[in-house]
Amino acid sequence: MNTPLAINSDEILASHVITELKNKIDIVAFEKVNKGWSKVIKYRVETSDGRRLFLRISDINEYDQKKAECEKLEQATVLGIDAPIPVSFGLCNKGKNVYQLFTWCDGKDALSYLPYIKPKEQYSLGVKTGLTIQKLHTLPAPKNTESWGIWFRREMHKQIDFYNTHTEKSTEGDILVKYQLDNQNLLDGRPITFIHGDCNLSNIMITPDNEISLIDFSSDYGDPWWEFDSGSWGKEPIGPFVSGIFDGYFYGEPPEIFFKVFAFYGAYCALTALCAGISEGDEDGAKHPKMFLSWYENMQNLVPVWYIAQR
Q: Which CATH architecture has domain 9-103?
A: 2-Layer Sandwich (3.30)
pLDDT string in tens for the chain (311-residue length) = 444 444 458 888 888 888 888 888 888 898 988 876 567 889 999 999 999 999 999 999 999 999 988 998 898 888 999 999 999 999 999 999 999 999 999 999 999 999 999 999 999 999 999 999 999 999 988 888 899 999 999 999 999 999 999 888 889 999 999 999 999 999 999 999 999 988 889 899 999 999 999 998 887 899 999 998 866 665 667 899 999 999 999 999 999 999 999 999 999 999 998 888 765 666 666 678 888 999 999 999 999 999 977 76
- What are the residues facing 57 on neighbouring strands? 41, 99
Give the whole-angstrom CA distance, residue 303 versus residue 309. 10
Give me the residue spans of the domains in the chain: 9-103, 108-308
User: Contact, 201 vs 110, CB < 8 A?
Assistant: yes
Give the whole-angstrom CA distance, residue 198 versus residue 222. 12
Instruction: Classify domain 108-308 at the CATH class level.
Output: alpha beta
pTM of the predicted model as reported, rounded to 2 decimal places: 0.88
